[in-house]
Amino acid sequence: MDHFLYRDGNLHAEDVAIADIAAQVGAPFYVYSSATLTRHFRLFDEALDWADHLVCYAMKANSNQAVLKLLGDLGAGMDVVSGGEYMRAKAAGIPGERIVFSGVGKTRAEMRLALEGGIRQFNIESEPEMQALSEVASSMGVTVPVTIRVNPDVDAKTHEKIATGKSENKFGIPISRAKEVYAAAAALPGLEVIGIDVHIGSQLTQLEPFGQAFEKVAELTKLLRAEGHDIRRLDLGGGLGIPYERSNDAPPLPQEFGQLAQDKVGHLGCEIEIEPGRLIAGNAGLLVSEVIYVKEGADRQFMIIDAAMNDLIRPAMYGAYHDIVPVIEPAAGVEQVKYDIVGPICESGDTFAKQRMMPPVAAGDLVAFRSAGAYGAVMASEYNSRPLIPEVLVHEDQFAVIRERPTFDEMINRDTIPSWL
């Protein structure tokens, strides 16, 4: 569920008309709903009511400071995957004891940064990383709580570029080797082994792969406890999918995910962490764009809009589907037309949708991409020297620009010309 509905023929974000934001900010832009972000966080939080728990928002999905502050104020922790994300979380006021550090390639500098600023736990992904963290922590005279990310070799049944839980993926240690890796970790100074971490992929639309992974984690918990490890925290990762195509079956709800987790690992008495990203932010955002031209091709109509693959790369990168709707509600019974919806970038990959049925639009009309709040703005670039587009946050009848569009001068002045040129 989201808070983007037509009212009096105009698409709104909560109580604000999208057209009013466009008039002030200029297209294209991202707009997020506070109410949707809040609702989605709470759904996960309530789904884990059965355990001592922390919902660590995977901030790579949308790491705007205002989004982090909003979620942090609700009690969210953060799952970070880089030094930059760690600094962003701290800048938004998230205390170190609510930040977990994930990622396959943490550098020593990133480890030091987090150990200095405070960290809840590191999720370790390999033996060399474990060694490095032990050395860094020891050299600073601290001991840091760690979990080890296991790769359960489970098919997440999602897009291959975002599946992370099969043995051929780069993530985690093979679960079959967990016993010896945990023994090695326990022997290292500076590390306190407290739990197990698993994350099998993103945009999962079925519960079954989660169930398989959680069962393996439960078995491993018992095995490691028998080996003398005090396993008391389970990080069950993120990955729950969202309905990008409204006509398709809806993916499982956070409540069902929480129930599954309780069924599979509830009896172990562990503290539970989860790391949802997409489900919290995805349907909390729209990308709003203006139609520049409608052009007649040899055998098709192109809708050329002012947003492009640099603003939202998911269609080009994953062949992802986004619902695209007119901002002015089409009249009932209007005949739909087929468009190839494309951006202005000089690549054929800059295509958002092919042969998409839509109500007819004209140059100057606004269209909105639904489900664009996650992996949208954060994956944007300035390719073709197109400025990063603004982000706007709505709260009831108010809205605020939470990231400005840079000026051309700001973009150009990031480069420097050496004195010898």
Determine whether the annotation assigns residue 84 to a binding site: no
Determine whether the annotation assigns residue 46 to a binding site: no
Which three-class secondary structure state does DSSP give residue 385? Answer: helix
Q: How far is 190 from 305, CA to CA, in rounded Å?
A: 54
Is the dihedral angle over the CA atoms 353, 355, 357, 359 positive or is it negative? positive
Determine whether the annotation assigns residue 195 to a binding site: no
Residue for token pair 């840079």: 406
Amino acid at 227: E
Q: How far is 334 from 280, CA to CA, in rounded Å?
A: 34
Q: How far is 82 from 111, CA to CA, in rounded Å?
A: 9
Nearest-5° Cα angle at 104, 103 to 106: 75
Identify whether the C-beta of residue 377 lies closer than 8 Å to the C-beta of residue 62: yes
Closest distance to ligand PLP from the beta carbon of 132 (Å): 18
Taking residues 213 to 252 in sequence order and writing x for each that binds ligand PLP by CB under 6 A, - otherwise, the string is: ------------------------xxx-------------
Q: What's the length of the chain?
A: 421
| Tokens found for residue 152 | 């359960």
Closest distance to ligand PLP from the beta carbon of 402 (Å): 20
Q: Does 79 bind ligand PLP (CB under 6 A)?
A: yes
Q: How many residues bind to ligand PLP according to rule CB under 6 A?
A: 16
| C-beta neighbour count of 160 within 10 angstroms | 11
Determine whether the annotation assigns residue 276 to a binding site: yes
Determine whether the annotation assigns residue 335 to a binding site: no
Q: How far is 253 from 250, CA to CA, in rounded Å?
A: 8
Determine whether the annotation assigns residue 347 to a binding site: yes
Q: Does 277 bind ligand PLP (CB under 6 A)?
A: yes
Q: How far is 135 from 102, CA to CA, in rounded Å?
A: 18
Taking residues 170 to 209 in sequence order and writing x for each that binds ligand PLP by CB under 6 A, - otherwise, the string is: -----------------------------x--xx------
Nearer to ligand PLP, 252 or 343 (CB): 252
57 closest CA partner among 372, 251, 281: 281
Question: Which pairing describes strands 29-33 and 391-395: parallel, antiparallel, or unpaired?
Answer: parallel
Q: Does 60 bind ligand PLP (CB under 6 A)?
A: yes
Q: Does 276 bind ligand PLP (CB under 6 A)?
A: yes
| Tokens found for residue 333 | 């019974």
Say whether 346 is catalytic: yes
Instruction: List the one residue from 51, 59, 61, 393 that touches ligand PLP (CB under 6 A).
Output: 61
Taking residues 354 to 383 in sequence order and writing x for each that binds ligand PLP by CB under 6 A, - otherwise, the string is: ------------------------------
Taking residues 278 to 317 in sequence order and writing x for each that binds ligand PLP by CB under 6 A, - otherwise, the string is: xx--------------------------------------
Taking residues 111 to 130 in sequence order and writing x for each that binds ligand PLP by CB under 6 A, - otherwise, the string is: --------------------
Nearer to ligand PLP, 173 or 303 (CB): 173
4 closest CA partner among 283, 387, 217, 238: 283
Cα pseudo-dihedral 148, 152, 155, 156, rounded to 10: -30
- Measured CA to CA in angstroms, residue 168 lies from 61, 154, 193, 203, 288 at distances of 24, 11, 26, 19, 38
Segment contacting ligand PLP by CB under 6 A, of 37-45, 58-66, 264-272, 385-393: 58-66
Determine whether the annotation assigns residue 232 to a binding site: no
Determine whether the annotation assigns residue 376 to a binding site: no
Residue among 331, 346, 362, 417 flagged as catalytic: 346
What is the set of active-site residues? 346
Query: Which residues are annotated binding-site positions?
Result: 239, 275-278, 314, 318, 347, 375
Query: Which residues are annotated binding-site positions for substrate?
Result: 278, 314, 318, 347, 375
- Contacting residues toward ligand PLP, per CB under 6 A: 58, 60-61, 79, 102, 199, 202-203, 237-239, 275-279
Query: Which residues are annotated binding-site positions for pyridoxal 5'-phosphate?
Result: 239, 275-278, 375
